């Protein structure tokens, strides 16, 4: 293990607002945010947070009040996040692309009373509809896209394309963000018990059932931030620049982007959505040194950078997470940029980072690295978690550490199902090698059972990624009359490449056993992705299930 990582000093468990307060003290004049050219210094950011926190308290926010943030990446998100926490409230993260049904479920499940959102046609109307539809929602705090915190330039309309600013009613249910900032007086101090008090409700589990709110405490958030700071000891405090295009309402960008970036005094370039050319332009012009991402982002940049004259050489460190990072994608990106791209692993329920490959030490191909400081990974039997597996044996990965959530909001049974003796059962199968490196095999629920054998889709995906024509792959289990289930691969080829399914199958025969060989390989121009850009199986599984379902008989 690399010596540079401090694994002995206890991780401080402190209230989450201290992340920004600490940096505002040390780097007051340094830029904290750059949104489309509008810069906000650390000092100014901390003052805006204080004023907004007072405003929230005057709106009735006290300890435990749930305040929703339904915002794309922009300064309003960062200010509101820390202001709600400072006022004693709980941040509930909402995806601005949610449809009304999803918004309603999450507002009601969490008991969100106030929602902060943006005055654009794509977002505001559906949030406004919730004042009627969801009983608990009392007020909307409206941030203006043409307000002083954003770049009042035509560039904003380029970013939001067809979206336009909409008129906001002047009534008791609406409060302008500017009015929040104009509140007089001091922030009333709120006593926070970091290990108990919930800071963020982060919804998860949408792929398998009703989304549940993971309760991330103040300590979970500050612990994971501190753990990441230890992971990169060679970072220059107050000097780094980070490109943040992953959405802040997702746990990965919240911690690995915003909280870690602010903790090291970096300047955060916030981009509200992933557009390849804009990302490449921003990297070339603004020269970020840190660039957290998910594998699909690095894949897209690899493809584009090979074709255009973009300068990506400023990037020094990237942490990839959320999904497997194909070995060749990592190698190519490092070659193009000269950076260190390391893969980490975690879940919403672990705030999220549990393991990562070391920056200064050996990176093992295909491994998600070693545990964060203060964290231990246990491999337990998926059938009986009381049984510990031996080193090298496969089992369910369980995480024990200060970043593991307090449980699911109002769902004690779901909580009990994922916690074992204080450790989080992840639902991921993996093993630990002789050097303590963790390897993931697959998710328990994605394992394909074919003729009594366990097939791990990831093994097939990794094999297909070895083919030079393949850009992206998803493998799922489909119904098979003889074997119960069989693997099927969906492949997107690289632009200008033309391998046929038969050629891909021939290629695979050198890598896979007969039972692992996909029953079918289907080429697609696009593969479905989640909001954060993870390749998604859900839509493909639904399509296959619909095709396999018997056609209902017509009734006369």
Please report how close the Cβ of residue 426 comes to ligand AMP at its closest, in angstroms. 5
| Residue 344, SS3 per DSSP | strand
Residues 344, 321 contacting (CB under 8 angstroms): yes
Q: Which of 259, 426, 450, 485 is in the footprint of ligand AMP by CB under 6 A?
A: 426
Does residue number 329 form part of the binding site for ligand AMP (CB under 6 A)?
no
Pair 363, 357: CB distance under 8 Å: yes
The H-or-E segment that residue 428 falls in is strand 423-432
Spatial separation of the C-alpha atoms in residues 404 and 199, rounded to whole Å: 13
Is position 465 an interface residue for ligand AMP (rule: CB under 6 A)? no
Cβ-based neighbours of 410, under 8 Å, separated by 6 or more: 109, 213
Length reported for the chain: 556
Q: Which is nearer to ligand AMP, 455 or 499 (CB)?
A: 455
**Which among 531, 525, 503, 506 is positioned nearest to 517, based on CA atoms?**
506
Helix (H, G, I), strand (E, B) or coil at 469: coil
By the 8 A CB rule, do 72 and 98 touch? no
**Candidate list 109, 343, 396, 544; residue touching ligand AMP; CB under 6 A:** 343
Residue 323 is a binding residue for ligand AMP (CB under 6 A):
yes
- Give the C-alpha separation, 256 to 262, whole Å: 10
Of 73-81, 281-289, 371-379, 422-430: span binding ligand AMP (CB under 6 A): 422-430
Residue 505 CB, nearest approach to ligand AMP (Å): 25
Among 321, 407, 457, 487, binds ligand AMP (CB under 6 A): 321
The answer to whether residue 408 forms part of the interface with ligand AMP (CB under 6 A) is: no
At residue 354, the 3 state secondary structure works out as: strand
Rounded Cα distance, 556 and 554, in Å:
6
Q: How far is the CB of 547 from ligand AMP (least distance, A)?
A: 26
Instruction: Report the residue number, 445 or 524, with the smaller CB distance to ligand AMP.
Output: 445
CB of 294 within 8 A of CB of 256?
Answer: no
- Pick the stretch among 302-310, 320-328, 414-422, 501-509 that binds ligand AMP (CB under 6 A): 320-328
Torsion of Cα atoms, 251 then 257 then 262 then 267, to 10°:
-150
Give the CA radius of gyration of the chain. Answer: 24
For ligand AMP, the binding residue among 109, 197, 428, 472 (CB under 6 A) is: 428
* Separation of first and last alpha carbons in the chain: 71
Q: Binding-site residue total for ligand AMP (CB under 6 A)? A: 16
227 is a contact residue toward ligand AMP (CB under 6 A) = no
**Closer CB to ligand AMP, residue 134 or residue 198?**
198
| Subset of residues 173 to 212 that bind ligand AMP, contact rule: CB under 6 A | 204
Q: Please identify which residue in 440, 474, 491, 540 interacts with ligand AMP, judged by CB under 6 A.
A: 440
Give the separation between CA 61 and CA 66, rounded to whole angstroms: 8
CB of 115 to ligand AMP, least distance (A): 22
For position 368 contacting ligand AMP by CB under 6 A, the verdict is yes
Map residues 344-363 to x or -, x wherever contact with ligand AMP holds by CB under 6 A.
-x-xx---x-----------
Q: How far apart are CA 243 and CA 473, in angstroms?
A: 26
Choosing from 121, 139, 364, 443, the residue that interacts with ligand AMP (CB under 6 A) is 443
Please check whether residue 133 is in contact with residue 19, taking contact to mean a CB–CB distance below 8 angstroms. Answer: no
Minimum distance between the CB of residue 345 and ligand AMP, rounded to whole angstroms?
4
Cβ neighbours of residue 382 under 8 Å, at least 6 residues apart?
395, 396, 429, 444
Asked if 89 interacts with ligand AMP (CB under 6 A), we say no
95 belongs to the binding site for ligand AMP (CB under 6 A): no
State the minimum distance, in angstroms, from the CB of residue 374 to ligand AMP: 19
Which of 303/427 has CB closer to ligand AMP? 427
Q: Contact positions toward ligand AMP, by CB under 6 A?
A: 204, 321-324, 343, 345, 347-348, 352, 368, 426-428, 440, 443
């Amino acid at each position: 293990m690399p010596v540079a990582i401090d694994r002995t000093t206890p991780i401080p468990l402190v209230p989450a607002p201290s992340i920004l307060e600490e940096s505002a003290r040390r780097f007051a004049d340094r830029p904290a945010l750059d949104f489309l050219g509008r810069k906000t210094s650390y000092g100014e950011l901390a003052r805006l947070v204080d004023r907004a926190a007072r405003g929230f308290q005057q709106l009735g926010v006290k300890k435990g009040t749930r305040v929703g943030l339904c915002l794309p990446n922009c300064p309003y998100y960062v200010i509101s996040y820390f202001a709600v926490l400072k006022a004693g409230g709980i941040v509930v993260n909402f995806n601005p692309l949610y449809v009304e049904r999803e918004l309603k479920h999450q507002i009601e499940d969490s008991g969100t009373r106030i929602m902060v959102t943006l005055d654009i046609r794509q977002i505001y109307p559906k949030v406004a509809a919730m004042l009627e539809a969801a009983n608990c929602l009392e007020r909307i705090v409206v941030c203006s896209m043409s307000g002083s915190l954003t770049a009042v330039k035509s560039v904003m309309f380029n970013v939001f394309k067809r979206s336009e600013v909409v008129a906001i009613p002047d009534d008791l249910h609406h409060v302008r963000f500017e009015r929040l900032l104009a509140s007089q007086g001091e922030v009333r101090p709120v006593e926070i018990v970091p290990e108990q008090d919930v800071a963020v409700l982060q919804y998860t589990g949408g792929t398998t059932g009703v989304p549940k709110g993971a309760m991330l405490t103040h300590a979970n958030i500050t612990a994971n931030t501190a753990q990441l700071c230890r992971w990169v000891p060679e970072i220059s405090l107050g000097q780094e620049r980070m490109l943040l295009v992953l959405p802040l309402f997702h746990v990965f960008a919240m911690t690995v982007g915003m909280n870690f970036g602010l903790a090291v005094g970096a300047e955060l370039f916030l981009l509200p959505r992933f557009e390849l050319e804009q990302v490449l332009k921003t990297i070339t012009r603004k020269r970020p040194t840190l660039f957290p991402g998910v594998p699909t982002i690095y894949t897209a940049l690899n493809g584009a950078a090979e074709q255009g004259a973009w300068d990506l050489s400023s990037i020094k460190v990237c942490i990839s997470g959320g999904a497997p990072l194909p070995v060749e994608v990592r190698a190519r990106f490092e070659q193009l940029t000269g950076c260190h791209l390391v893969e980490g692993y975690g879940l919403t329920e672990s705030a999220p980072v549990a393991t990562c490959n070391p920056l200064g030490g050996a990176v093992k191909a295909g491994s998600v690295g070693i545990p964060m400081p203060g964290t231990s990974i246990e491999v337990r039997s998926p059938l009986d978690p009381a049984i510990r597996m031996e080193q090298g044996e496969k089992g369910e990965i369980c995480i024990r550490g200060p970043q593991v959530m307090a449980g699911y909001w109002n769902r004690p049974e779901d909580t009990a199902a994922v916690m074992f003796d204080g450790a989080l059962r992840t639902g991921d199968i993996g093993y630990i090698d002789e050097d303590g490196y963790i390897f993931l095999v697959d998710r328990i629920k994605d394992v394909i059972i074919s003729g009594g054998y366990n097939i791990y889709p990831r093994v097939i995906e990794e094999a297909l990624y070895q083919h030079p024509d393949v850009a992206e792959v998803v493998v799922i289990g489909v119904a098979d009359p003889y074997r119960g289930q069989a693997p099927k691969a969906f492949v997107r080829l690289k632009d200008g490449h033309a391998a046929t399914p038969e050629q891909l199958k021939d290629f695979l025969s050198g890598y896979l056993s007969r039972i692992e060989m996909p029953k079918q390989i289907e080429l697609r121009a696009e593969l479905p992705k989640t909001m954060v850009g993870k390749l998604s199986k859900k839509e493909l599984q639904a399509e296959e299930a619909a095709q396999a379902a018997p056609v209902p008989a017509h009734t006369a």
